[in-house]
Amino acid sequence: MKIELFTMRYYHEIIDLWKRTGIEISSSDTRDEIARILKRNPDLFLIGKENEKVIAVVMGAFDGRRGYVHHLAIDPDYQKKKYGKMMMDELIEKFQIKKVHKVHLFIEKNNKEVVDFYRKLGWEVRDDLIMMSFVPDKRLYKRDIEI
Ligand SMILES: CC(C)(COP(=O)(O)OP(=O)(O)OC[C@H]1O[C@@H](n2cnc3c(N)ncnc32)[C@H](O)[C@@H]1OP(=O)(O)O)[C@@H](O)C(=O)NCCC(=O)NCCS
């Protein structure tokens, strides 16, 4: 697998990959919103290709204090070949270059099995935090949309 930086020409391929791997597509994944996170984090948004086909994706983000990992996905036909680890290793190297102190990610409770994947990569489950969210404009955020 060849890892490279994501560009918008692969937008439909990553949406398809997320759908096929069970990742919920929200209003944050429209073309405009993906272009927005890419603009802020051009060097942290990675895809993996095999024979020119996109088989892996991960969005990294840095808000100036913490790093974040969003929507890591490996094509089901290519899982359990260490490609997920490869994508995360590459992303962590990029966070290291930026001297990011700590990186967070969120796992949906119905996807608990993924915890062991991240544990093997050295991530720790936090039981000292409660995650809270707020939607500043209810007209903007929508879950589970069709793209
Ligand atoms: C989670 C995911 C990215 C893992 O990718 P992958 O390429 O299959 O994982 P790797 O082959 O790199 O696995 C690395 C290690 O983690 C282990 N592992 C992978 N998936 C695992 C799982 N679901 N449960 C437990 N261990 C797992 C592997 O066995 C391997 O262990 P080893 O080093 O002891 O052999 C992939 O299964 C996926 O795309 N899932 C659907 C989307 C998703 O849930 N993304 C995460 C959103 S938070």
pLDDT digits (tens, 9 = 90+) for 5-18: 999 999 999 999 99
Measured from the CB, is residue 18 less than 6 Å from ligand 1? Answer: no
Measured from the CB, is residue 3 less than 6 Å from ligand 1? Answer: no
Residue that is written with structure tokens 């070949």 in the block: 81
The whole-angstrom separation of Cα 51 and Cα 13 is: 14
The reported pTM is 0.97
CATH class of 2-120: alpha beta
pLDDT digits (tens, 9 = 90+) for 10-39: 999 999 999 999 999 999 999 999 999 999
Measured from the CB, is residue 1 less than 6 Å from ligand 1? Answer: no
Q: How many CB atoms lie within 10 A of CB 117?
A: 16
Domain boundaries, the chain: 2-120
